[in-house]
Amino acid sequence: MTLSPPENQNHAIQYSITPIDPKGHLFEVTLTIEAPLQPLQQVRLPNWIPGSYLIRDFSKHLIDVKAMNAKKEQIELFLIEKSTWQFASNGKPVTIRYQVYAWDLSVRGAHFDESHAFFNGTSVFLAVDGQRQKSCSLELLGTAFTKASHWKIATGLPSQNVNKFGFGTYSAPNYDSLIDHPFELGTYTEIDFKACGVPHKVVLTGLFDLDEDRLKTDLIKICEYEIKLFGEPAPMESYLFQVMVTGSDYGGLEHRNSTALMCSRDDLPYKGMKKATDGYLQFLELCSHEYFHTWNVKRIQPEIYQKADLSEPVYTNQLWWFEGITSYYDGLILKRAGLIDNETYLNVLGKQMTRVYRMPGRFLQSVAESSLLTWTKFYQQDENAPNAIISYYTKGSLIALGLDLTIRQQTQGQKSLDDVLLHLWQHFGKTAIGLQEGQIEALCSEVSGVDLTDFFDRYLHGTEDLPFETLFKGVGIEFNLRQPTSLTDFGGRIPPEDDSVELQFGANVSDTIQKTVKITHVWHDRPAHQAGLSAGDELISINGVKVSSQSQLQQRLKRSQAKEPWKCHFFRRDELRSCLVHLTSATADRVTLMEMPSNPTNSTKWLT
């Protein structure tokens, strides 16, 4: 059936959203379509959000979806599939009203309670099929509750007519722009600063102690470095960091002039803190990572993402670049911006590399395949994931590192990965030209002047480890793989308090409230696997002695000999079982990086 165009293409699509029930976690949303398509109009909610590649079925949170004509008469609205509705149209205005249940405390969805509210447009705003390119207006309405609570609004979406708290009307040139500006509502802490003349704001929601001046100073260094790396002027008129602070969460999602972040309150800098903690460095890396996406993802993009309507998965091999390259630069920028020294950076990098070298799955799945199957294998990992897959974030960052070092060495330092990045920005990011499959690999060779075909065949499309011992030696860095010193040794420099070599049990474990040790992952061909232990099993004793914590298991490893088997009793579900575990010497899969005493002339140019 052919659908007729609306009578007036200039009519805006009008939305309103009201936080009506903080205890029930409900928003109320209206969508007014001034000129629906004839004879049928469809509306749909996205099934996934850009930057997070999993079908999330946001429509499952919509409640009581109804449609009315201009006379306030209800018209029939048909649900034709899980996230799409349809109604008959005579081209006259129609308003659709519904509620959204908002109890997803993440950077991807919508959340609302007495403490704050947050929403992404993909979770709350129905798209109007055939009219997604039309301008949108949004009215954000306050309530007696928001007024009494003194709530205010933080968003990167341009306002039209708002009060001093931010309630009122906003505008977007089209639907894709509307859903790329999340909103934070509440009584958050605000930090304002400028980077290269561009206004920036940080809003933090939650309970925390914070050295605001230190965070502000460090973020200015990161933002100014990245703006200057790509070249002024910055591609945004302003920028917003939206940070939800909790006890233990971590994550981020990029948007065109903002980012939504989550972090642990222990990761924030506190007044009197002298040396940056590992948690704070992790948070700064997260900020650096998401800010870098302002260029590399939000503007330098695969063509296939530019056409996505967010209803079905979109498949690409290119996430090694968009996430892997970003993951390489996020920590490197902390070094280049002067926030950490060489030793600290090499320690952080060693830990990052360890996350790859510990994964047996790196020999079974290529990074290109990891990207293609992100919708299932990466975003829906199970307990066997370390044995079966690899991450395009972590190994992608190692490909970026290897690519950078290779280009620098093959060109005697005349070219680097920076040159490729800037070429993509100038010719694709600024021009909004999408990248085709395989085009980035070809451009790496073209821009650098180095034939990198074999490099990509072996390390991107193949499953080989990169030759880091040789690559690092060329820049005066010693690369070593060592055995772990403990169950919580995640690579980098050897902990000063304990340099003993451990036997290996061959499984990741966690403590339970029942004071047992639960196995979370079993590594293939290691002692736990060979003994028949599986993820989910709960250890209760070793050689007749109760084991009630990870630390006790650690002590047993220290006191054991490789030839002495462990008689383990454990519960699988509610069944008591036993097995013999024959411990072996620990696998050397922790990475340490150290500067050589006598470095070549160009030893650390890649760090500056």
At residue 2 the predicted structure's pLDDT band, cuts being 50, 70 and 90, is: very low
- Selected from 3.65.10.10, 3.30.1330.90, 2.30.42.10, 2.70.70.10, the CATH number assigned to the domain covering 503-585 reads 2.30.42.10
pLDDT per residue as tens digits for the range 461-497: 999 999 999 999 999 999 999 998 888 889 998 876 5
Check if the beta carbon of residue 552 is closer than 8 Å to that of residue 545: no
Class of domain 303-478+598-608: mainly alpha
Domain residue spans of the chain: 13-187, 190-294, 303-478+598-608, 503-585
Check if the beta carbon of residue 586 is closer than 8 Å to that of residue 504: yes
In 3D, which of 97, 82, 94 has the Cα closest to residue 40? Answer: 94
pLDDT per residue as tens digits for the range 297-309: 999 999 999 989 9
User: Mean pLDDT over residues 557-572, rounded?
Assistant: 89
The whole-angstrom separation of Cα 113 and Cα 220 is 32
pLDDT per residue as tens digits for the range 233-267: 999 999 999 999 999 999 999 999 999 999 999 99
* CATH fold label, 190-294: Neutral Protease; domain 2 (1.10.390)
φ, ψ at 195 (rounded to 5°):
-125, 120
Is residue 10 predicted with pLDDT exceeding 60?
A: no
Is residue 1 predicted with pLDDT exceeding 60?
A: no
φ, ψ at 330 (rounded to 5°):
-60, -45
In 3D, which of 134, 58, 61, 67 has the Cα closest to residue 97? Answer: 67
In 3D, which of 304, 305, 310 has the Cα closest to residue 84? Answer: 310
pTM for this model (two decimals):
0.94
Residue with tokens 């469809």: 42
Check if the beta carbon of residue 164 is closer than 8 Å to that of residue 147: no
The whole-angstrom separation of Cα 154 and Cα 172 is 16
Check if the beta carbon of residue 603 is closer than 8 Å to that of residue 595: yes
The pLDDT value recorded for residue 496 is 64
The whole-angstrom separation of Cα 481 and Cα 484 is 10
The pLDDT value recorded for residue 497 is 59
Tokens of 606: 């890649």
At residue 562 the predicted structure's pLDDT band, cuts being 50, 70 and 90, is: confident
The whole-angstrom separation of Cα 280 and Cα 269 is 6
Per DSSP, the three-state class of 371 is helix
Answer yes or no: same fold for 190-294 and 303-478+598-608.
yes
DSSP 8-class letter at 605: G
The whole-angstrom separation of Cα 274 and Cα 268 is 13
In 3D, which of 74, 70, 59 has the Cα closest to residue 93? Answer: 70
Sheet holding 116-119, edge to edge: 110-112, 116-119, 183-186, 152-155
The pLDDT value recorded for residue 438 is 96
Tokens of 590: 């922790």
Q: What is the CATH number of domain 13-187?
A: 2.60.40.3650
Q: How far is CA 117 from CA 26, 113, 524, in A?
A: 10, 6, 44
pLDDT per residue as tens digits for the range 43-59: 999 999 999 999 999 99
Check if the beta carbon of residue 434 is closer than 8 Å to that of residue 302: yes
